[in-house]
Chain A
Amino acid sequence: MQGEGGTPLSELRRGSRAVVRVIGTPGSDRLFDFGLLPGTPVDVVLEAPLGDPLVIVVRGTLLSLRRRDAAGIIVATGETPVDRRHCR
C-alpha cells in the first residue's frame, strides 16, 4: 500500500489493480449502486479508443467510467502488478 494520500483512479494505467479509499465524485449514487465503495478492489481493464472513458471491473461488473468522474475516486495501489486476467 502507498502512503495515506493515494492516487486518483483516473491516473491508473490499463491492467492495474487498486483498492478504493474515498469516493468524492459528485452524483455518485450510481457508483454506489454498482458497489464502488471505500474498500472495494477495482481493476482497470480497458480504455475507450480515444483514451476516455476507462473500463473498470467492480465486483464482477464491467463499468465504463469517465476520467473526470474517476478523478474524484482516490485509490490505493498495491506494490505488485496484478495480471488482469485474474481480476474479478
Chain B
Amino acid sequence: MTVAIAGSPNVGKTTLFNALTGLCQHVGNWPGKTVDIAEGWHRSREAELRLVDLPGTYGLAGNSPEEILTRDFVLGRVADVILVVLEPRALQRHLYLALQVLEFAGPVVLVLNLMDSPDSDVDLERLQAAVRTPVVAVSAARRQGLAHLVKTVLEVAAHPPAASGNLGILDKPVRDLAREPSGLNGMPPRWEALRLLAGDDTLDAALARAGRHDLLQRADEQRQAVGGRVRERLAAILYEQAAWLESLCPPPPPYRTSVLDRLLTHRLLAYPLFGLLVALALWLTLAAAQPLTALLEALFSRLGGAVALFLFARGVSAWIAGPLVDGLIVGVGAVIAVMLPTMSIFFVLLALLEESGLVPRLALAADLPLQRVGSQGRHCLACLVSLGCNVPGVYAARTMTGRPRLLTILTASLIPCNGRLGVMLPLAVLFFGQRATLVVLGLLALSLVTVMLACATLSRIWPESPGDAVMELPPLRWPHLPGVLLRTLRYRVVHVLARASLIAAPVMLAVWLLGNLPVGAGPTATYTATLTAFLQPAGRALGLDGRILTAVLFSLPAKEIVLGALALTGGVARSLGETGAVPLGVLLETWSSFTALKFLVFFTLAAPCAYTMLVIRRESGSTARTALAVGLSLLAGSLATWILHLVGRLLGLG
C-alpha cells in the first residue's frame, strides 16, 4: 500500500517520514518524472506501507517545479492514502492545502504535527467531524502517536470516507464542466473542470488540439456567469472554510518578531552578520575536513598499493593493473577523499542554518541586489549550496520559477565548489603564504561579481516573471539535529557522491589511457602530450600554457583532481593519483606567483564538472541552455584571466 505525505514546506513532513521509515528509505525514480522523490518502507505487525515524501507545497496550483510534481502525484491517485501534515502555527494555511487535497484527491488522513506531545488542546473530535475525515495528532520529532496514525491509515484505506466537496459558487460550474471530461491528462474530472474554469493555457491548448472546442466554449460561458477571477474566488472560498475550521481550535500564539529578527534585517548589521556566518561555515568545513581527507587519501593509496601488489603477484599485465589501480582506485579515491568530508561537514552546517530559519532571512537580505540583476533572493541560497557542490546548487532552483530559476541553473557553476576550494586553498598558501586568505576571499568575490554580471546580461534574454519572489520566512527556531543529519548525509552527500564517482570513473580511465598511450611512447609522445601541444597557443594567449589547459580539461570528472592532472601533464607523474607534495613541489618550481594567480582565476570560474553539466541538462531540459552554461563559465574564466594577464603585463609582471 502506498501512502504519500504532503504538506507545506517546513511543516515537519520529512521528520514524520523519517520517524515512520527509520533508515529504510531511498530515492525513488517515479515513471515519467525526472525528479527524485524520497520513498521508504514502514513495516510493523499490522502493516507494510510504502511511504513517499512529497516536496512541500502551499497549494495545488503548481507554482514551481516541485509544486507541480507534488500536485501531479496527488491528483494522479498514485497513493492509496494521502497524509496531509498540519501544524498549529498558521493552521489556516495548512487547512487550505488539506481542503484542496480532500476536494480533488483522496482518501486523506490529516496529521496534526505538534512540537512537544500529542496531548494538544485541539479538539480533534470536533475538527474531524467538521472536515469529515480522520485527524490524528502526532509528535514526529518525539515519535509519538505513530502507531495510532498507522492504524488510522489502514482504516481509511479499507473504508474511505465519502468525499463531499463544497466549492461554494464555483460548485455548479465545476459540476457542469466535469460532466464530460476530456480524459486527456488523467486528472480527476473535477480538477480538470476547475482548471478549465480558472483558465489554464496548457490545458486549453491541449483541448483545442483534441477538438474539444465545445468544452472550451462552455468554460468561457461559465466563467462569465460567475464573474471571472476564478483563482481568487477559489482561494477565498477555501480560506473561508479553513478559517472556520481553525476557529474550532484554540488560537495559536501570535507571531512576535524577535531581537534576532530585527538584527538580521538591520540596515548596517545584517550583511556583516551573514558574511561572518558564511565565512565561519566555510572555515569550519575546510579546517575540519583536512585531516579526514588526508586519512582517506592514505587509505585509498594503501588500497591501491595492496591491489597492485596482488595483481603483480598473479602476473596480471600492467595494461590491466595500471588503469585499474592508478586510474580507478587512486583516481576515484582522490575524488571521494576530498568530497566526502568537505561535503558532509559543509552541508550539515548549511542544513542547520536552513532549518533554523537563518538562510531564508539571508535570502530576504539578498533579494534587492539580486532583483536589480533580474533574479531573486532564493538564488542566494542556491549560491551557498553551490559552495558545497554545484550539483545540489542546481537542484536548489526547483523551488523557483521563471527567469530566476533559469539564471540560478545557468550560473551555479561559476561558484567554486568545495572540490575547487580544496585546490585553491593549498595553492594560495603555497604561493602567497600569509596573504592566502586574502587571495581566496578575492577569488570568492570575483565569483560573486561574475554571477551578478552574468545574471544582468542573461536576464535580457528572458522576460520578467512577476510574483515569483514571494517567499515564506519560517520562524526562527532550533533545528532538529538527527533529522538534519540523516537527510543531509543521505540526499546531499551519499546520493551525489555515489553518482559523481560513477561518472568520474570512466573519465579517469580515459585520462590514464591518454597519458600512457600509444604503447611504448615516451613522456613527450603520449596522446596527453599531443593534446598539450594542441592547446598551447590558446593557453599562451591567456597567459597560461597548454599543460594547464589540459589539466583543467582532465579535471572534468571532478575538479579536485586538477593538482594530480597538473603533475601528469607536466610529465612528472603518469597517474592522477599523485596528489599532495609531489605536484605542489613541481608547481612551485615551474610557476611564478603571477602564473599561479592567473591559474586560480581561471580555475575558479571556468568549466563545471561533468556531473554538474549532466544535472544542468536535466534541470534546464535543454541542450542549448546547457551549452550556454558551459560556454558562460569558459568565457568568464578566460576573460577574467586574460584581463589579469594584460594588466599584469602592463605592470611588468610575468
Q: How far is the CB of B427 from chain A (nearest CB, A)?
A: 35
The reply to whether the CB of B533 lies closer than 8 angstroms to some CB of chain A is no
Q: Which of B96, B232, B364, B470 contacts A30 (CB 8 A)?
A: B470
The reply to whether the CB of B92 lies closer than 8 angstroms to some CB of chain A is yes
CA distance A45 to B92 in the complex (A): 20
Interface residues of B in 456-478 (CB under 8 A from A): 465-475
Closest to B360 in A: A64
Q: Which of A31, A59, A84 has the most CB of B within 10 A?
A: A59
The reply to whether the CB of B265 lies closer than 8 angstroms to some CB of chain A is yes
A55-B364, A64-B367, A88-B254 known; A37-B92 Cβ under 8 A: no
The reply to whether B93 and A60 contact each other, CB–CB distance below 8 Å, is yes
Residues 244-262 of chain B, each 1 if its beta carbon lies under 8 Å from chain A, else 0: 0000000110111100011
Q: Which one of B58-66, B178-186, B481-489, B597-605 is at the interface?
A: B58-66
Closest to A52 in B: B368
Q: How many chain-A residues does the 8 Å CB contact rule pick out?
A: 41
The reply to whether B254 and A86 contact each other, CB–CB distance below 8 Å, is yes
CA distance A28 to B235 in the complex (A): 11
Q: Which of A31, A46, A53, A63 contacts B467 (CB 8 A)?
A: A31
B92 neighbours in A (Cβ, 8 Å): 35, 59-60
The reply to whether the CB of B73 lies closer than 8 angstroms to some CB of chain A is no
A32-B232, A35-B239 known; A59-B90 Cβ under 8 A: yes
The reply to whether A37 and B364 contact each other, CB–CB distance below 8 Å, is no
B455 neighbours in A (Cβ, 8 Å): none
The reply to whether B239 and A64 contact each other, CB–CB distance below 8 Å, is no
A61-B93, A64-B471, A64-B473 known; A48-B465 Cβ under 8 A: no
CA distance A65 to B367 in the complex (A): 10
A33-B96, A60-B91 known; A47-B265 Cβ under 8 A: yes
A30-B63, A35-B235, A48-B368 known; A88-B265 Cβ under 8 A: no
CA distance A69 to B251 in the complex (A): 30
Q: Which of A26, A34, A37 contacts B232 (CB 8 A)?
A: A37
CA distance A86 to B251 in the complex (A): 13
CA distance A48 to B59 in the complex (A): 26
Q: Which one of B39-47, B187-195, B266-274, B572-580 is at the interface?
A: B266-274
Q: How far is the CB of B405 from chain A (nearest CB, A)?
A: 14
Closest to A84 in B: B257
Closest to B235 in A: A32
A60 neighbours in B (Cβ, 8 Å): 89-93, 252, 254-255
Residues 28-61 of chain B, each 1 if its beta carbon lies under 8 Å from chain A, else 0: 0000000000000000000000000000001101
A55-B473, A60-B91, A60-B252 known; A30-B367 Cβ under 8 A: no
The reply to whether the CB of A5 lies closer than 8 angstroms to some CB of chain B is no
CA distance A47 to B365 in the complex (A): 9
The reply to whether B469 and A66 contact each other, CB–CB distance below 8 Å, is yes
Closest to A45 in B: B257
The reply to whether the CB of A78 lies closer than 8 angstroms to some CB of chain B is no
Closest to B273 in A: A49
The reply to whether the CB of B627 lies closer than 8 angstroms to some CB of chain A is no
Residues 64-88 of chain A, each 1 if its beta carbon lies under 8 Å from chain B, else 0: 1110010000000000000011111
The reply to whether A25 and B473 contact each other, CB–CB distance below 8 Å, is no
Residues 407-442 of chain B, each 1 if its beta carbon lies under 8 Å from chain A, else 0: 000000000000000000000000000000000000
The reply to whether the CB of B377 lies closer than 8 angstroms to some CB of chain A is yes
CA distance A37 to B266 in the complex (A): 30
Residues 1-44 of chain A, each 1 if its beta carbon lies under 8 Å from chain B, else 0: 00000000000000000000001011111111111011110000
A33-B63, A35-B239, A66-B371 known; A28-B467 Cβ under 8 A: yes
A51 neighbours in B (Cβ, 8 Å): 368
A49-B265, A57-B255, A61-B472 known; A27-B367 Cβ under 8 A: no
A27-B467, A30-B467, A64-B364 known; A48-B265 Cβ under 8 A: yes
A55 neighbours in B (Cβ, 8 Å): 265, 364, 473
CA distance A27 to B469 in the complex (A): 10
Q: How far is the CB of B447 from chain A (nearest CB, A)?
A: 22
CA distance A49 to B270 in the complex (A): 7
Closest to A39 in B: B236
B234 neighbours in A (Cβ, 8 Å): 32
Residues 347-379 of chain B, each 1 if its beta carbon lies under 8 Å from chain A, else 0: 000000000000010011101110100000100
Closest to A46 in B: B265
Q: Which of B58, B255, B367 contacts A87 (CB 8 A)?
A: B255
Q: Which of B236, B242, B360, B371 contacts A38 (CB 8 A)?
A: B236
CA distance A35 to B61 in the complex (A): 13
CA distance A50 to B360 in the complex (A): 16
CA distance A59 to B91 in the complex (A): 9
Q: Which of A29, A33, A63 has the most CB of B within 10 A?
A: A33
Closest to B239 in A: A35
Pick 18 A–B contacts, CB within 8 A, sort by A: A27-B466, A30-B63, A30-B468, A33-B235, A34-B93, A37-B232, A40-B239, A49-B265, A49-B270, A50-B369, A52-B371, A60-B91, A61-B90, A61-B93, A61-B472, A64-B360, A64-B367, A65-B469
Other CB < 8 Å A-B pairs besides A32-B235, A33-B235, 16 of them? A25-B466, A27-B465, A29-B467, A30-B61, A33-B58, A33-B61, A33-B63, A34-B93, A48-B368, A55-B473, A60-B255, A61-B93, A62-B474, A64-B472, A65-B470, A88-B251
Chain A residues packing against B (C-beta within 8 Å): 23, 25-35, 37-40, 45-53, 55, 57, 59-66, 69, 84-88
**For the complex of A and B, 9 pairs with smallest distance between CB atoms:** A27-B467, A32-B235, A60-B90, A33-B59, A49-B270, A27-B466, A33-B58, A62-B473, A26-B466
